[in-house]
Amino acid sequence: MTDSLTANSAAPDFDVAIVGAGPVGLALANWLLRDTDWRIALFDARDSEAAARDPRALALSHGSRVLLQEIGGWPTRATPITHIHVSQRGHFGQAHIRREDYDVPALGHVVQYGDLSAALNAALATLMARYPNRLTRYDHTPVERVEQLPRADGTVAPARVRALREGRHPLAIETEVVIQAEGGLFDDARKQQRSIAQARRRDYGQTAIVAHVRCSAPLDGWAWERFTPEGPLALLPQDDAQGPGYALVWCCAPHEARRRAALPDDAFLAELGAAFGERMGRFTHASPRHTFALGLHAQRIPVDRRVAAIGNAAQTIHPVAGQGFNLGLRDAFEMARALRDGATAATLARFARERAFDRAVTIGLTDLLPRAFAVPGRPFGHLRGAALTLLECLPPLKHGLARQMMFGQRG
């Protein structure tokens, strides 16, 4: 492997370079290695062992489970979601989505990020043993930039990826296409300089508190989405060795998030109980809290010639309804399917067209909900209550929402 190449090289080093070995990038690598003959480079700033220790919770839809099981990337630990209860604090109206209404074993599952990464890495290692020399991993190799160099005839040469091996040794490779799968949080998206420039941005003025909590009367398989004047409060079932528990995502004003996150456990649990109510008794335990800013950062067209973005690299969205990872996984699946026909700029352009509707619906829904439920005033609360009641009373409407949450617009 050479460390510097020119735009006039006869053949690039790789057909596909994937930047980012999080779950979305790993899933794409698995599909490509299994279903194509492409030479693949997989870059990541950290190593797989570090990812396996990541304790964050991810909400995976039933459709995502089907996709992950197809490549052997389903983790052994996963807590099923069999009921989803949606309500708003201080107003009437609620909706209840049940798995038995949709003939699925679960509406979704909650898994630990590290467990999912470990499962996908294990699946990839199996494929790498079966197809040696087809995929090269560059762990501890942060990518500094991606270059697209014009030829004399006006066309674009294979893309060049410049990175630092072990964080200090310069490396340059050329590849037919680059798939950016290295996402992050809203703050990361604001700070990063993307090679795909045009983006839709919105700062929600909210910060999420995330933690693992326990309560005195847990309901097996129930997930809760409770809208409050400050923002959504979600509790997702996530059991561990100590028994039943919940992954908490509590969205509120930034100063309130900082204050609450710093509270002693007893005071924090008391405020959480006041916001959520007593449906599961009282809250009895909370892990250390973490916070992150919330906003929308979505590429309008996630493709620029030989470079495409998927997952959080293409769109960082509000966590309401837990759709971010599921949308990213559908990106990866459809990208792998598109690349079977060729690792070309034309293939990437077709991918962008085919993903436009699913991205628009999911981004639009997750952008609308937190803003609509944050509008103050009792009349607006009554309108939202009427909308939730209508959703509960009209099965076709509820079925459409449930299908979007489970499968997106993948067809």
Which CATH number applies to 14-201+294-407?
Answer: 3.50.50.60
What percent of the chain has a predicted confidence (pLDDT) above 90? 78
pLDDT tens figures, 107-146: 999 999 999 999 999 999 999 999 999 999 999 999 999 9
Would you say residue 3 has pLDDT above 50?
no
pTM above 0.95, yes or no: no
Rounded to the nearest 10 degrees, the angle between the axes of helix 113-130 and helix 23-35 is: 20
CA 25 vs CA 145, 348, 361, 364: distances in Å: 17, 16, 23, 24
Would you say residue 65 has pLDDT above 50?
yes
pLDDT range class, residue 187, cuts 50, 70, 90: low
Cβ atoms of residues 201 and 175 within 8 Å: no
Domain ranges of the chain: 14-201+294-407
Cβ atoms of residues 175 and 15 within 8 Å: yes
pLDDT range class, residue 220, cuts 50, 70, 90: very high
Using alpha carbons, select from 294, 273, 280 the residue that is nearest to residue 210: 294
The per-residue pLDDT for 410 is: 64
